Homo-oligomer: A and B are copies of this chain.
Amino acid sequence: MSIAEVARLAGVSTATVSRALSGRGHVSAKAREKVLEAASELGYVVSQAASSLASGRTRNVGIVLPFLNRWYFTTVLEGAQQRLMRAGYDVTLYNLAGDGDERREVFEHFLLRQRVDAVIAVSLELTEPEVTRLHAIGKPLVGVGGPIPGVHTLAIDDVAVARLATEHLVGLGHTRIGLIGGDHESDADFHLPTKRRQGFEAAMNDAELPIVATRIADADFTIEGGYRAAKQLLGPLRERPTAIFAASDEMAFGAMLAARDLGLQVPNDISIIGVDDHDQSEFFGLTTVAQFPREQGAAAVDVLMAQLEPRDAEMPADTPLPFELRVRSSTSRPRD
Q: Which of A76-84, A156-164, A170-178, A313-321 contacts B (4 or more CB under 8 A)?
A: A76-84
Contacts of A53 in B (CB 8 A): 47, 49-50, 53
Residues of B within 8 A of A94 (CB): 85
A223 near B112: Cβ-Cβ < 8 Å? no
Query: With A82-B95, A98-B82, A283-B223 as given contacts, are A113 and B69 in contact (CB-CB < 8 Å)?
Result: no
A264 on the B face (CB < 8 A): no
Query: Contacts A69-B74, A74-B69, A283-B224 hold; do A92 and B60 have CB atoms under 8 A apart?
Result: yes
Closest approach, in angstroms, between the C-beta of A61 and any C-beta of chain B? 10
Shortest Cβ distance from A115 into B: residue: B48
| Bound complex: CA A185 to CA B224 (Å) | 31
Q: Given A45-B113, A280-B223 in contact, is the A81-B95 Cβ separation under 8 Å?
A: yes
Q: Please name all residues of chain B whose beta carbon is closer than 8 Å to the beta carbon of A78 when the two chains form the complex.
A: 68-69, 95, 97
Q: Mark the stretch among A9-17, A102-110, A235-243 that contacts chain B.
A: A102-110
- Decide if A198 is an interface residue (CB 8 Å cutoff): no
* A4 close to chain B: CB less than 8 A: no
Are A85 and B110 closer than 8 Å at their CB atoms?
Answer: yes
Interface presence of A46 (CB below 8 A): yes
Residue A71 interfacial (CB < 8 Å)? yes
B residues in contact with A307, CB < 8 Å: none
Q: Which of A226-271 contact B (CB under 8 A)?
A: 227, 260
Residues of B within 8 A of A47 (CB): 53, 113-114
In the complex, whether A330 has a CB less than 8 A from a CB of chain B is no
- Residue from B46, B75, B109, B227 in contact with A45 in the complex, judged by beta carbons closer than 8 Å: B109
Smallest CB gap from A52: residue in B: B49
- In the complex, which residues of chain B have a beta carbon less than 8 angstroms from the beta carbon of A98? 82
Q: Within the complex, what minimum Cβ distance (angstroms) separates A79 from chain B?
A: 10
Give the chain B neighbours of A102 by CB distance below 8 A: 82, 85
Q: Per-residue 0/1 for A106-149: is the Cβ within 8 Å of any B Cβ (1 yes, 0 no)?
A: 10011011110000000000000000000000000000000000
Task: Please name all residues of chain B whose beta carbon is closer than 8 Å to the beta carbon of A113 when the two chains form the complex.
Answer: 45-48
Which of chain B's residues have a CB closer than 8 A to the CB of A85?
94, 102, 105-106, 110
Chain B CB within 8 A of A153 CB:
no
Q: Is A110 within 8 A of B90, CB to CB?
A: yes
Which chain A residues (59-75) contact chain B, with CB distance < 8 Å?
60, 68-69, 71, 74-75
A290: Cβ under 8 A from any B Cβ = no
- Is A36 an interface position by the 8 A CB rule? no
Tell me which residues across on chain B come within 8 A of A68, comparing CB atoms.
74-75, 77-78, 81
Which chain B positions have C-beta within 8 A of A151? none
**A49, A60, A98, A102 — most chain B CB neighbours (10 Å):** A49
Q: Compute how far the CA of A302 lies from the CA of B233 in the bound complex, rounded to whole angstroms.
A: 47
Complex-state Cα separation, A113 to B21, whole angstroms:
13
A93 to B95, CA, bound (A): 12
In the complex, A91 has a CB within 8 A of chain B: yes
11 contacts between A and B (CB under 8 A): A47-B114, A49-B58, A49-B114, A50-B53, A68-B75, A78-B97, A82-B98, A91-B93, A223-B280, A223-B283, A224-B283
- 9 tightest A-B CB contacts, nearest first: A49-B52, A45-B112, A49-B53, A224-B283, A48-B113, A47-B114, A48-B115, A93-B93, A68-B74
